[in-house]
Amino acid sequence: MAVRNALRRIEKWDMKLAGDVLSERVATLKPMMKSQIEAEFPALVEVENEVKIILGDVGISSSLNPPYLNFARETYRLSKRFCGRQLLKEVDAVMAKWITRGFDRDILERIRNTVFTLTAPTP
């Protein structure tokens, strides 16, 4: 079975993003989208505030806050998609990524354990 060729994909992409089509889709979905963000943003802000408190407690420079906040945002997103053992595995993979990038394992673990009340997965 052949896949769609590039020209066909480009044409479909262009049609999906036509001004009138796109604005109609956004207008239709906007009330639902707004109700979803109204529900999620307060919880995300609370997570970010808790992370900033942890970072302040351990003396992390404010210039290093964004990566740790990004770790927390990724963990938050995963917590909305997964649960139980699978969530622990997914968060462990995200932690490994940030540790590989040179960020402090102890701080990442503290964020994971304190803010999200998760612990490391057992083998």
Question: In this structure, what token pair is assigned to residue 12?
Answer: 């479909």
Average pLDDT, the chain: 92
Written as one string, the DSSP assignment of 68-82 is: HHHHHHHHHHHHHH-
What is the percent of the chain where pLDDT is above 70?
96
pLDDT tens digits along 27-79? 999 999 999 999 999 999 999 999 999 999 999 999 999 999 999 999 999 99
pTM of the model: 0.80
The angle formed by the CA atoms of residues 46, 47 and 53, to the nearest 5 degrees, is: 90
Report all structural domains of the chain as residue ranges with CATH numbers, in order of start.
Answer: 37-115 (1.20.58)
Q: Which of 89, 88, 90 is nearest to 118 (CA)?
A: 88
Q: Which residue has the higher pLDDT, 2 or 45?
A: 45
- CA–CA gap between residue 6 and residue 8 (Å, rounded): 5
